[in-house]
Amino acid sequence: MEKRWTQDNLTSLQSSILAEEQKHPGATGEFTWILSAISLATKAIGNKVRCARIEDVIGEVGETNVQGEMQHKLDVIANEIILRCLGDRENIGVLASEENETPFLLRSREEGGRYAVLFDPLDGSSNVDSSVGVGTIFSVLRLPDGGSREVAMLSPGKDQVAAGYVLYGSSTVLVLTTGNGVDMFVLDQSIGSFVLVTKGIQIPSGNKTYSINEAYTEKFSKEIQQYLEWVHENDYSSRYIGSMVADVHRVLLKGGVFLYPPTKEKPEGKLRLMYEANPMAMVIEQAGGMAVDGSKRILEIEPSGLHERTSVILGSSDQVGAVLQHCS
């Protein structure tokens, strides 16, 4: 059940994670250090986003990333901030970014590198100059003893030990799951700390709202086109921002469904499995929703590569089910 917090009962992100760790005998506190580093990095990125126009860091850098997409100045800055903040955490063995072709192998398991952190440093960066909400998405995996660290990272999403995102919008919001529900924290600028505002988020059902880029309708499959015809006939509302973090955040809080299906040009889908789909799927499922690629659960997909792409349908179970009825 959701629990909302007031100014008289503040709980910081660090306090919340420490309290959660105390429920697990043998916890070492290492996990808290990772989330503390993510918190620090995203505070710095949030500040850069707020000051982007003032500091003239809006626009493209004239180069493409490994995905073949044009990099924006803030993509590069956000990536460097995360690498710097997480790179010195002794229990992180591998860092992998959407912006880099290969992962950074920092420490072996024997040297203390127990975790891998995968991230999209700034989702929706092309929207910064329009002051649209953008965000950071992250996934944490535990590295097993022995074997290749690169291979160990290519685990299905169900093996994630934590996942979440930070939305830089009207406020800076951190949404986190460690496999025991979903909590939401908001950055209190006056004290410089993320504070818990909602514990145990559950996606509402019954919201007849869908989020998809309908400009691609003619490029979608016949089944998705039929679904869109059906929602038009059944009084659904369309809500599409064009920034995955912002779109999914609204679905998490309000209900409905987010769709990014394959197109003729990208039959495998566009969103990255490891950096976007898996962490968002874990958040949505932990909040009582569903996340599928159109035929199977996203968290059960066996990845074949670090930058693998997938289609995504996620949201409240009733609305994802409505989509699947048209795709079966």
Contact 196/12 with Cβ under 8 angstroms?
Answer: yes
> How does pLDDT run across 313-326, given as a tens digit for each residue?
999 999 999 999 98
Residue 178, pLDDT > 60, answer yes
Question: Minimal CA–CA distance to 273: which of 282, 285, 286?
Answer: 282
Q: DSSP per residue over 277-314, as a string?
A: IHHHHHHHHHTT-EEESSSSBGGG---SSTT-EE-EEE
Q: What is the end-to-end Cα distance of the chain in Å, rounded?
A: 33
> How does pLDDT run across 48-94, given as a tens digit for each residue?
998 878 776 766 655 555 555 657 788 899 999 999 999 988 899 99
Q: DSSP per residue over 174-207, as a string?
A: EEEESSS-EEEEEEETTTTEEEEEEES--PPS--
Question: If you count DSSP H runs as helices and E runs as strands, how many of each does the chain have, helices first?
Answer: 8, 18
Beta pairing class for 3-4 and 70-72: unpaired
Judged by DSSP in three states, 173 sits in strand
Tokens of 297: 């659960």
> How does pLDDT run across 185-229, given as a tens digit for each residue?
999 998 899 999 999 999 999 999 999 999 999 999 999 999 999
Q: DSSP per residue over 72-94, as a string?
A: EHHHHHHHHHHHHHHHT-TTEEE
Tokens of 264: 């003729």
Contact 292/320 with Cβ under 8 angstroms?
Answer: yes
Tokens of 268: 């495998």
> How does pLDDT run across 10-29, given as a tens digit for each residue?
888 888 888 877 776 555 66
- Residue 290: count other Cβ atoms within 10 Å of its Cβ: 22
Give all domains of the chain, ordered by start, each with its CATH number. 3-199 (3.30.540.10), 209-327 (3.40.190.80)
pLDDT of residue 21: 73
- The answer to whether the predicted template modeling score (pTM) of the entire model surpasses 0.85 is yes
pLDDT of residue 220: 96
pLDDT band at 7 (very low <50, low <70, confident <90, very high): low
| Residue position matching structure tokens 């159109």 | 294
pLDDT of residue 139: 97
Question: Minimal CA–CA distance to 211: which of 238, 242, 246, 243?
Answer: 238
> How does pLDDT run across 267-283, given as a tens digit for each residue?
999 999 999 999 999 99
